[in-house]
């Protein structure tokens, strides 16, 4: 059985960039529903329900066809939101934070600069049509920006996501309405680069 993890900070901790009410509904309703529906889907499958979420997403083709779409959508929903909460952290000082260390070096090598990374990533986030996610992922040790529909993620295609942005309307509509562009801009202020770098090191080691 999968369980809903607590947020690693208070609901209002990401204010003013992400509002308390959005965080409450997003975590307590949306993420909780993905966990419940995932458990319901695989409850009586002995081989499957002992896997970690990473194992499950890496081998969705092993899931019986009749529950595979449910496992994909809700398993992806669980994994993606768990990552999303972790790669954000409060920023009471309000200064824009940047990647450090090995990750910063890799970003500069791949995209030219940190600013270029945020520009490219933001452009993909803005142009993503419909519900989905934008990712910074690792493929063969190299950084890659990509997007995915619904609750899909790079892990389903053998890559390792280290940063993800939820661009479903439920992630921003209460505060930003149709202004996804403002949500994306605000979100950079709460990216937890220490956690992203930890995931980067783990992925490339």
Binding site for Mn ion (CB under 5 A): 166, 168, 171
Nearest residue to Mn ion, scored by beta-carbon proximity: 166
Q: Which residue lies nearer to Mn ion by CB, 166 or 197?
A: 166
Q: Which residue lies nearer to Mn ion by CB, 152 or 166?
A: 166
Please, what is the minimum distance in Å from the beta carbon of residue 70 to Mn ion?
17
Query: Could you tell me if 151 and 34 are in contact, meaning their C-beta atoms sit under 8 angstroms apart?
Result: yes
> How far is CA 186 from each of CA 14, 62, 67, 180, rounded to the nearest angstrom?
10, 39, 37, 10
Query: Could you tell me if 74 and 151 are in contact, meaning their C-beta atoms sit under 8 angstroms apart?
Result: yes
Q: Which residue lies nearer to Mn ion by CB, 111 or 133?
A: 133
Please, what is the minimum distance in Å from the beta carbon of residue 166 to Mn ion?
4
d(CA 180, CA 172): 7
Please, what is the minimum distance in Å from the beta carbon of residue 113 to Mn ion?
29
d(CA 91, CA 14): 7
Q: Any residues with CB less than 8 A from the CB of 190 and at least 6 apart, and which? A: 14, 17, 18, 88, 89, 90, 91
Q: Which residue lies nearer to Mn ion by CB, 6 or 65?
A: 6
Q: Which residue lies nearer to Mn ion by CB, 29 or 142?
A: 29
Q: Which residues of 35-56 are buried (b: 16+ CB within 10 A; e: fewer)?
A: bebbeebbeeeeebeebebeeb
Please, what is the minimum distance in Å from the beta carbon of residue 102 to Mn ion?
29
Please, what is the minimum distance in Å from the beta carbon of residue 26 to Mn ion?
6
Q: Which residue lies nearer to Mn ion by CB, 15 or 169?
A: 169
Please, what is the minimum distance in Å from the beta carbon of residue 131 to Mn ion?
9
d(CA 108, CA 195): 18
């Amino acid at each position: 059985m999968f369980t809903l993890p607590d947020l690693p900070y208070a609901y209002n901790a990401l204010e003013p960039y992400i509002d308390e009410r959005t965080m409450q509904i997003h975590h307590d309703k949306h993420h909780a529903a993905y966990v419940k529906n995932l458990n319901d889907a695989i409850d009586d499958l002995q081989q499957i329900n002992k896997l970690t979420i990473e194992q499950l997403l890496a081998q969705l083709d092993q899931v019986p066809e009749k529950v595979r779409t449910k496992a994909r959508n809700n398993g992806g929903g669980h994994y993606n939101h768990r990552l999303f909460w972790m790669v954000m952290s409060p920023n009471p000082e309000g200064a824009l934070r940047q990647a450090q260390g090995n990750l910063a070096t890799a970003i500069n090598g791949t995209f030219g600069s940190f600013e270029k990374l945020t520009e490219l990533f933001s452009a993909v986030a803005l142009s993503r049509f419909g519900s989905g996610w934008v990712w910074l992922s690792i493929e063969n040790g190299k950084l890659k920006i990509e997007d995915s529909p619904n609750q899909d993620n790079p892990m389903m295609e053998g890559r390792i996501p280290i940063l993800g942005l939820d661009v479903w309307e439920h992630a921003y509509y209460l505060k930003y309405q149709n202004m996804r562009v403002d949500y994306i801009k605000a979100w950079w202020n709460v990216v937890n680069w220490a956690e992203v770098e930890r995931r980067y090191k783990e992925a490339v080691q």
